[in-house]
Amino acid sequence: MQKKLLGLAVAGALAAPGIALAQVEVYGFVNMSVGQVKYDSVSPNAGLATGVSSVTKMDVASHASNYGIRGRENIGMGQTAWFQIEQNAPMERSNNVAITPASRNSAVGVQGNWGNLFIGQWTTPWADLDALWAVGSVGGWTPVTSVIGRRETTGTAPNANCANGGHGIATSCDAVEAGSGVGHAFWRRTSQSIFYQSPVFAGVQIKLSYQTNEGKASAEAAVPNANAQMWSSSVQWAGMGGRVRVGAAFDSHKDFSTVGKTDTGWRVTGGWNFGVVDVGFAYEQMTYALSTAAGGAQGATYSGNDCEAKQYGLGVAVPVGQGAIRGSWAVAKDLEGTGCNVVIGSPAGAGFGGATTWTLGYDYRFSKRTTIGAGYATIDNKSGDATNPGGVHAWTGLPPNQSGAGSVANGPLPGGDVSTFFVNMIHRF
């Protein structure tokens, strides 16, 4: 009741005089850890001219903490109009991370017995399937923030109309479109998008999203056919009172890695709660269309086959009292295909190497809102050599590596391993 009253007060301050907004609330999620992080020593490789020694440090990390305001209104005939505006809450390292309004799941829509249709920015149907299997996660130290779906940088989408698209066209792009990476990050939310979620029928639900081609250029433009757009789709089923769940997703990302070509991906996730143990699994495969003819003004030449990424993982939760012992294990295979020789926005070969990660911990649910846990997590990146820098997989929110506090490299050096002992607290409001 208190947060609804607070929401009404905030809504009243934002609304025009005389307009009342009903059923509005403020909500949030704070997920933070304190722990000891170790970056292991790394031998010289294609990404490092000289080797580096290990470093161990203490750190406070925030894991996707956020807050927002949302509301619903009955508009008649069984229909409900709703909105949500959510942004990040940088609970640490605030001098480097700005609060960006509506940077997370934010949209407006209409919902009825026919389903839920909305527009804005939201997690994709692909990403929503993580909820089916990631039962082994403790805090933010999980394969979902390190290996599964994470073969790209945190940039959203290289755009064919931007210099980051590999064609040397120095046009203006917003910060989201100008993010670098190998193709489009499958795990991320998408902006300027249309979403549909079907009602649940016999335990089955279908989800669809379409990211519009707002960056499309005319045939006379410097980069023709810059028609970047993407589809994401999933179907999931839950049975036996929700104890058994399974889902599958397929994504199609046109003109993201290469103009005129389409990146694709598919995944299967699920799990079974046996009562004494809850087990989850995930398998996914992405193909980036990186083979093309000669590039643009910079004279780049792309050649070879497509680039393929495969990841898989397991999660386990064993109830103990009001908490659970949780563990997870996941593997990212080496990138496959000679098309991987071209990685947009990365040094030649960076990120080619795979990795293995595992986590073991315990969390205790004090209430519906507050959970405290502790554990150990590690990522073993594949070592580099003279021709390959090795893996660079990392969790979101790591402190700077051996390069020091002034570095923006918040993750291991090429071929380096990273581990952490941590205590975590989650509070929901």
- Report the range of poorest mean pLDDT among 53-62, 133-142, 296-305: 296-305
Dihedral of CA atoms 296, 299, 304, 306 in degrees, nearest 10, equals -40
Q: Write a three-state SS string for the chain.
A: CHHHHHHHHHHHHHCCCCCCCCCEEEEEEEEEEEEEEEECCECCECCECCCECCEEEEEEEECCCEEEEEEEEEEECCEEEEEEEEEECCCCCCCCCCCCCCCCCEEEEEEECCEEEEEEEEECHHHHHHHHCCCCCECCECHHHCCCCCCCCCCCCCCCCCHHHCCCCCCCCCCCCCCCCCCCCCCCEEEEEEEEECCCECCEEEEEEEECCCCCCCCCCCCCCCCCEEEEEEEEEEECCCCEEEEEEEEEEECCCCCCCEEEEEEEEEEEECCCCEEEEEEEEEEECCCCCECCCCCCECCCCCEEEEEEEEEEEEEECCEEEEEEEEEECCCECHHHHCCCCCCCCCCCCCEEEEEEEEEEECCCCEEEEEEEEEEEECCCCCCCCCCCCCCCCCCCCCCCCCCCCCCCCCCCCEEEEEEEEEEEC
Report d(CA 76, CA 339) in Å as an integer. 54
| Average pLDDT rounded to a whole number, residues 397-421 | 80
Predicted pLDDT at 3: 55
205-264 residue pLDDT tens: 999 999 888 777 666 555 544 577 889 999 999 999 889 999 999 999 887 766 677 889
- State pTM to two decimals: 0.83
Q: How far apart are CA 20 and CA 103, in angstroms?
A: 26
**What is the C-alpha separation between 356 and 381, in angstroms, rounded?**
7
- Quick: pLDDT tens for 109-125: 999 999 999 999 999 99
Highest mean pLDDT among 16-30, 212-226, 309-323: 309-323
Other CB atoms within a 10 A radius of the CB of residue 154 amount to 12
CATH, residue 325: 2.40.160.10
- List the end-to-end C-alpha distance of the chain, in Å, as a whole number: 11
What's the whole-number mean pLDDT along residues 157-181? 40
148 vs 310: CA distance, rounded Å:
9
The number of distinct structural domains making up the chain is 1
- If one compares 190 and 404, the residue with the highest pLDDT of the two is 190
Most confident of 2-11, 17-26, 261-270, 419-428: 419-428
- For tokens 């299967």, the residue is 268
The contacts of residue 147 (CB under 8 Å, 6+ apart) are 311, 313, 330, 331, 332, 355, 357, 379, 393
pLDDT recorded at residue 44: 82
Domain span at residue 267 reads: 2-428
Question: What average pLDDT does the chain have?
Answer: 79
Predicted pLDDT at 167: 36
Q: Can you say whether the dihedral through the CA atoms of 183, 186, 189, 192 is positive or negative?
A: positive
Residue 286 burial (10 A CB sphere; 0-12, 13-18, 19+): buried
Cα 35 to Cα 139: distance, rounded to the nearest angstrom: 12
Pick 203 or 167 by higher pLDDT: 203
Mean pLDDT along residues 22-27: 86
Q: How far apart are CA 151 and CA 338, in angstroms?
A: 16
Q: Give residue-wise pLDDT tens across range 333-383.
A: 887 776 565 443 333 334 457 899 999 999 999 999 999 999 999 999 988
Write down the pLDDT at residue 208.
97
Q: Name the residue with higher pLDDT: 172 or 270.
A: 270
Torsion angle, alpha carbons of 9, 13, 17, 18, to 10: -20
248-268 CB burial, b ≥16 within 10 A, e <16: bbebebbbbbbbebbbbbbbb
